Amino acid sequence: MIDPLYSLCGFAVGLLVGMTGVGGGSLMTPLLILLFGVHPATAVGTDLLYAAATKTAGSVAHGLAHSIEWPLVRRLATGSVPASIATLIVLSFFNQSETARSLITVILSFALLITAMTLIFRGTIIRFYRDRFAALDERRTALATTAFGALLGVIVTISSIGAGAVGVCALIILYPRLPMAKIVGSDIAHAVPLTLVAGAGHWVMGTVDWPTVGALLAGSLPGIVVGSYIAVRVSEPALRFLLAVTLIVVSGKLLYDHVADGSLILTAFTRRAPH
């Protein structure tokens, strides 16, 4: 049975993704944690496989439009896939423990803040770094791309966030002469192997809720189509700013709840401890 509330949330997130190009993992994972009370590890694993399905559909569309720079995708994947596997091995020692909950919540919160800042200050960030990276030769650019891919592999595997706004911003800096369509298409194509590997690892660890994946996809796929249709009729900068503010609020809520839960656990422990 498909839970209509999950599908409704999937539709809302898909709508935002269709209109802005970002917001999938940035909103879906926090929604699963805050609204549905899903364990952070399960929320991340579920969102990764949900993202793999949606990114695959996006990659097919960009592939047909010839807007994917495959050498760039290979450079990113050379760093991100091994880094994701290494991160999964480390996470497997914690699984769904309180340590895993704390680690994922903290990194998720900071990943949300970074994504929000990227959405708000993308133009400033690009102008500041573009001249510095434009002087790199092709070999150093390739090494920087692989290193960034490795960093992305770690962050995405732990939080399911980072392959959208942050990835696009970094690629614009590293490849200033590449058309925007190919930047976006390459970022989406790279997200497919990364989210598949990371999601499969979470599945092996038992941190994927398959019925939820299906319910989210049932809502988000139509949402992406509708969002893409109305994107030209809505102010994208205003939407990006609204999305960024939402991410900041959600990040603060996650950190606040995490600190509050830690205080409650500490209080309960001290009360039970013998004097």
pLDDT of residue 70: 94
- Cα separation, 120 vs 241, in Å, equals 6
pLDDT tens series, the chain, 275 aa:
567 888 888 888 888 777 666 666 678 888 888 888 888 889 999 999 988 888 887 788 778 888 899 999 999 999 999 999 999 999 888 766 677 788 888 888 888 888 888 888 888 888 877 766 666 678 888 999 999 999 999 999 998 887 777 888 888 888 888 888 888 889 888 989 999 999 999 999 998 999 999 888 888 888 877 876 776 666 667 777 777 887 888 888 888 877 776 544 444 434 445 54
Size (the chain), residues: 275
Q: What is the pTM of this model?
A: 0.82
- Domain with 114, as residue range(s), is 4-272
pLDDT of residue 180: 80
Q: What is the pLDDT of residues 108-134, one digit of tens each?
A: 888 888 888 888 888 888 887 776 666
Q: Supply 195's token pair.
A: 């989210």
pLDDT of residue 269: 38
To 10 degrees, the CA torsion angle through 226, 231, 232, 236?
170
Which of helix, strand or coil describes residue 66? Answer: coil
CA-based nearest residue to 42, from 207, 254, 210, 216:
207
To 10 degrees, the CA torsion angle through 44, 47, 53, 59?
-80
pLDDT of residue 21: 62
Report CA-CA distances (Å) from 67 to 55, 64, 89, 149. Answer: 14, 8, 34, 20
Number of neighbouring beta carbons within 10 Å of residue 24: 27
What's the domain count of the chain? Answer: 1
- Interior angle at CA 83, CA 64 and CA 204, nearest 5: 85
- Buried-state track 80-119, b at ≥16 Cβ within 10 A, e below 16: bbebbeebbeebeebeeeeebbebbbbbbbbbbbbbbbbb
Phi-psi bin for 187: left (phi > 0), alpha (psi -120 to 50), beta?
A: alpha
pLDDT of residue 203: 94
User: Quick one: which H or E segment has residue 215?
Assistant: helix 210-230
